[in-house]
A = this chain, B = another copy of it.
Amino acid sequence: MIPYVRLPMPACILGVAVLLMLGAGAQAQTDPLSSWNDGAAKSAIVEFVRATTTQGSPTFVPPAERIATFDQDGTLWVSHPMYAQVMYCLDRVPVVVKAKPELAKVEPFKTVLSGNREAIAKLPMEDLLKILAATLTGMTVDEFQAEVQKWIESAKDPRWKRLYTELTYLPMQELLGYLRASGYKTYIVTGGGQDFVRVYSERVYGIPPEQVVGSMAGTTYGYDKDGKPILTKEPKLLLNDDNAGKPEGIHLMIGRRPVAAFGNSTGDQQMLEYTKAGDGARLAMLVLHDDAEREYAYGPAQRLPDTKVGTFTQALYDEAQKQGWPVISMKNDWKRIFAFEQ
Contact = CB atoms under 8 A, between A and B. Distances in A.
A5 interface: yes
B210 A252 contact: no
Nearest to A56: B1
A251 B230 CA distance: 11
Contacts of A56: 1
A295 interface: no
B182 A5 contact: yes
A195 interface: yes
A152 interface: no
Interface stretch (A9-17, A75-83, A117-125, A161-169): A9-17
Given A11-B15, A11-B18, A210-B255, A5 B248 contact: no
Given A221-B244, A238-B239, A274-B229, A251 B141 contact: yes
B202 A6 contact: no
A183 B16 contact: no
Contact of A3 (B50, B202, B228, B238): B50
A321 interface: no
A208 interface: yes
Interface in A184-242: 185, 194-195, 198, 202, 208-210, 212, 216, 218-222, 228-229, 231, 238-239
B3 A54 contact: yes
A137 interface: no
Interface residues of A, number: 66
A252 B3 contact: no
Contacts of A185: 210
A204 to B, nearest CB: 15
A210 B254 contact: yes
A186 to B, nearest CB: 12
A57 to B, nearest CB: 7
A270 interface: yes
Nearest to A275: B229
Interface of A: 1-8, 10-12, 14-16, 18-20, 22-23, 50, 53-57, 63-64, 141, 180-183, 185, 194-195, 198, 202, 208-210, 212, 216, 218-222, 228-229, 231, 238-239, 244-245, 247-248, 251-256, 270, 273-274, 277
25 contacts: A1-B54, A1-B57, A3-B55, A4-B183, A5-B16, A7-B7, A7-B15, A10-B22, A11-B19, A11-B22, A64-B202, A64-B208, A210-B254, A212-B255, A216-B252, A219-B248, A219-B252, A221-B244, A221-B248, A221-B274, A228-B277, A229-B247, A229-B270, A231-B247, A253-B253
